[in-house]
Amino acid sequence: MQHHPPPTLVLIVVLWFTALAGVLFLLTLQNALKKCAPASRTMKPGKVWLMLIPVFGFVWQFIIVLNISKSLKNEFARRGMPCSEENPGQASGLAMCVCGCCIFIPLVGEFVGAAGFVLWIVYWNRIANFSRLLDAHQSIAPASPIA
């Protein structure tokens, strides 16, 4: 059996948990879109996985945030539900995206990266909360069948 030195093992564990968190995050985004009626969606739920494409993902994350915000806004309006934000999740999502793109700037990248990590958690939580809100009102206005 091969033994890895502690720094390598720590790196493997950190990468594994990072990958797991990333998958759970994308599942949350995909599920939020699935809870919107097809007429309310501005993108197909499966397209969130395109964010995994290297380099392209930095641009795609902005598109995802904008489309999820529009889809949620449309769905809340369709169901006649009030929403605490005019554009659900958009502000924290865009801030997260900007921080993610700025991590490569020398001297400030580490600070921006830390802020981006916090904003990632905030955005993830916001979308999960909006998704739960849609679940809670599912019995009032079920989603339209997929055509």
Mind listing the pLDDT tens digit for each residue in 109-132? 999 999 999 999 999 999 999 999
Per-residue pLDDT band for 99 (boundaries 50, 70, 90) equals very high
**pTM of structure:** 0.85
Per-residue pLDDT band for 1 (boundaries 50, 70, 90) equals low
Measured CA to CA, the distance from residue 96 to residue 55 in angstroms comes to: 16
| Percent with pLDDT over 70 in the chain | 90
Sequence spans of domains, the chain: 6-136
The answer to whether 29 and 64 have CB atoms below 8 angstroms apart is yes
3-state secondary structure 101-122: HHHHCCCCHHHHHHHHHHHHHH
